[in-house]
Chain A
Amino acid sequence: MNPLDPMIKTNDPRLTDYVLGELAPAEAAQIEAALKSSPQLRAAVADIRQATQTIANVFETESSLQLAPEQRTKLLAEAESVSEPGSAANTDVHSLADNVTTLADNVTTLADNVTPTVAGEHYRPSAGSTAHWIKIAVAAGLAGLLLGVGAYYSADSERPSIAASDEPMLAADSVDDGTEESELQSKDHLGFNADADSQVEQRAIKKLKASKPMSKTDGVADQAIPLAVKDAESAKLNGHLMQSLSANQPGSAPQSPSRPPLVADSFGDAMPPTFREEFPKTRSRADAGNAIHSLAEAPAESKYHRRSSALPNVEGKKAEAKKIESKFTSNLASNPAMLSKAQQSLDQSRLRSLNLKVVAQNSPSQSRQSIDQIGGDFHDSGADERLPIAAAAKPLAQGDTMKNELTKRSPNASLPVTFKLQISDQNAKRMVQLLASQADPLQQRKLSFEELIGLQKSPQVASANSAGESYAELMDESYIDDAGRLKMEMDSPPRADTLPKKSPSAPQTAAALLASELREHLRRPLSRNNSIAAYRGLKKQNVETQNVETLQDLGGSIDSDSASASDSPMDKSSTVSGKSTPENQSSVRSQDAKQKLPAIKLNNELSSGEFNFEYSQVIQQLKSNLEIRNQAVPLSKQSPARLPVAP
């Protein structure tokens, strides 16, 4: 312990720093003073010094390592290539910087001419780094401006068709491409005499900027304001640029400070004569301002109108365009094929836009919301009434959007709009599983079960089916997709005569609908996979059956033999073979009531994939799990024996 400095201990890191010479002089002096008075510190320092020396020796005695010979050769070659001018290694930042510097030096000569004086003397950048970069920045900026002017010059000279065709309207229309030359050209069309201090311009720009925003769908009107503003501003900028450029042109005529030259003035004869004649630059500033006002106030039906109202000599062109348009219309009317094709194309374009909107927004809740807002009932209005969008079969969008679109497409259609929910056997089965397994999916979808299966029972589907139309065509669209979301297909708006009439004998309650639907559905032939899936769904509901394992272990076939051979206590009398009938279903129910066993029977012919299971068991499970909205009679108050039997 150092008596002079109690903070210094034998394990103080500063001792190591002192030994290694890493301490500041002041601290080193403090340590040395402490060492003189403390033998412990001296011993500690000696110990550290010895340890560091040992460690250093250890590292020094490490065998020296070398790169592999080929690596060393490659490195040395690379090092040599660095020193060679024009090598690949020279194409780095430094060489690029050298190139920029060279360019800057070249352009600085021009910059010295363009930038006349700084405080009465020519600007000479100093040798300092700041001045160097300033020089580069100024030179690059000027080079960019000159390149832009050159591009305009070259583009204009390569555009004889516009100028020589004596079509100022086409030239004006080309402004909308948004390019720099087109902007400059549009400025020139207006005869815009740029002046930074022009109050007329400023007033016009303010008016344009303060004007109400256009509709997004009106693309032409949407472009009008920024384009006109750009015209004015670019003209202003260009005026200053050309003023500064022309001030140093040898032999150039002195320019009035109140009238900076336009681009066309600078290029003189390079401007096509027809161009100059068509757009004389003799307009006053007031005229230019009025032209901008006309731009802002021009009707926004088309860029044709927008331009024609502001440009000179356009009335004749406008009449000509209208003549062409009327001629095209008359030709179209006289050619039914062309007309239908045009109409079809128009429909397709609308259809695409509609589909885009429909697809853009889709969720089960939104679909439900759509139906609620439209107030639609679920019907099928038949294939004949399908709109083209039915082929696309896109999910519904939000109700208001869909309602508007449908109204727009079919203005004579009366709401509620008809939607058709299509369900496949597989998805119906999955739906039963979901409903039986948990009520949450039902609540999430906010679609009651009776609503869903009510669609399945729509008479139109049945009639279409009986009329020979492919049932699969109508029903193969899943409305529960892979992600578990509800999908619906929009169909045509209903007509009054196509609306289904509810039969007084039709089941009205949710329970009755459920029972009838299940009965109807389960009588349909199912695929083997669906059968297995349905059965597994039943098993999830703790429906104890003895052949569950047999079914789950199915890789291949299931038949009644295998079911009975699996020591199943299931009473064969409780099963229904083949398609169920009211008679044998009643028998099943009576047997189930006694044995409390599910009745599942796999058909012998698995190739047909036909099987039946007792719907009462499913209902039993649903009763305990489901919450069906808007049900007239709670399921719990109904017994399976009271359920209506399907015809």
Chain B
Amino acid sequence: MAALTPELLALQLLVGLALGAIYVLLAFGLSLIFGMLTVVNFAHGAFYMLGAYVAFAVAGLTGNFWLCLACAPVVLGLIGYGVERFLVSPLYGRGIDYPLLLTFGLSYVLVEAVRIIFGKQGYPFDSPAALAGSVEILGNYFPLYRLFVVAATGTIVLALWLFVEWTNFGLIIRAGARDPEILRVLGIDVGRVWRLVFALGTAIAAMAGVLAAPLQGVTPEMGDSMLIESFVVTVVGGMGSLGGAVLAGLLVGLVVSLTSVVAPELAKLSIYALMAAVLLIRPQGLFGRAGLLG
């Protein structure tokens, strides 16, 4: 076994950061939707996968990655809007398990639909030409594209944070999360706000899907394991906490990466060990508010 030199450690941290970036985006959307709508969205992984397939289709037509990155969130945002309007919203006030089961079923429908349309076997997806190369870091080659994923995630998270904290709509979102009743009394169409939040969460999932596609290709099942892992991230960060989602996403990436050096077989398991440890110490997650599910 290679000694854990500072260089190796630094590289593992960098790899983990890039790995965590995708978790951050997925968990952010999940947390946004849960925090506002108290909907545990089991279709989030399928939306992530759909985003990647929209990108795959757009790339097939135009060959332009940047267009994919722009198109997929728009398409999925519209789908998310429709899903909330016609499927999820009729279930409000019926208890948390109704939308959970609905989105769970929806994810199966979406995955099957993609299998029928695109085939079961999945496709590779090229990195954009401008980011295809590597840079040398500490004597190792590191793919430029992974650095781009980290930077893109940082930008998206920053933009969302500014949006939620500094715009009027963001103010409404935050108020809606605290007390939708009062918001309604104030004359704000809360249903519309929720629809837009659901669409926004879905669009972020799509963006994560597009960013992940050049790393691993696209497959109908790509959302399945990501969904479970991003739920773990959300739970670790605290359900509904946006800051928690970001921090926990990066934390999970780093834990997986570092475990891989010491015990590669346990890499996936380490995510759940982390969750168990956090839940033992803080049952509501790192930044969660207790009692949201009650």
Partners in one complex: no
- B residues engaging A (CB < 8 A)? none
- A residues engaging B (CB < 8 A)? none
